Amino acid sequence: MVSSLFVFVDEWDVGAPIGDVFRAVSDARTYPVWWKAVYLNVEADGPPKVGGVARMLFKGRLPYRLRIVTTMIRLEPPREFEIAVNGDLAGRGMWTLAPTATGTHVRFDWRVNIERPWMRLLAPILGPAFRWNHAWAIKRAKAGLEPYALKLAGQFPKHVGPFISAP
């Protein structure tokens, strides 16, 4: 039997202060603002806190949408937090941040099993497409996180157009 487990490790640098990057990535309510074209809706029970729950609807480039419920299981500002994931995907996600000379290094570890029956069944065949879809979504995170975090920091992003609103 082929596993429906997918493990992704994505890393990139953001030219914004660690505290502002952490505020953005730890608060799922901000995702539809800066992680555009991916996060369609997020409903959370408030600001980030251990035990906090968020319901998310998101998509990639492929023609399907995923619904998950996340629960914050660890929160250590401004360095890292971890969520448990249930719904169409089940597993864990962890964001780890480190200061750099020019901003913040971001690492996102995503370890999830596919729970949606049709996707689980087709995972052995569509695995490369699912990986490509994840890469497409992360590219949008990379494009949106820095300008949003700079907005939180009160700085003007050097390489983007109009500002996006902070919650």
How far apart are alpha carbons 57 and 88 in whole angstroms? 10
Joined together, the tokens standing for residue 64 give: 């399907």
| Structural domains of the chain, ranges and CATH numbers in brackets | 5-153 (3.30.530.20)
Lowest-pLDDT range of 2-11, 31-40, 95-104: 2-11
pLDDT at 156: 64
- Using 50, 70 and 90 to split pLDDT, how confident is the model at 3? confident
Chain segment 54-106, per-residue pLDDT in tens: 999 999 999 999 999 999 999 999 999 999 999 999 999 999 999 999 999 99
- Of 67, 66, 70, the closest CA to residue 91 belongs to 70
Summary mean pLDDT of the chain: 93
Least Cα distance to 148 among 66, 33, 54 occurs for 33
What pTM value is reported for the model?
0.90
Q: Point out which residues pair with 17 in neighbouring strands.
A: none
- At residue 157, the pLDDT reads 58
pLDDT in tens, 139-155: 999 999 999 999 999 98
The confidence score (pLDDT) of residue 161 equals 46
Tell me the C-alpha distance between 102 and 123, whole Å.
Answer: 40
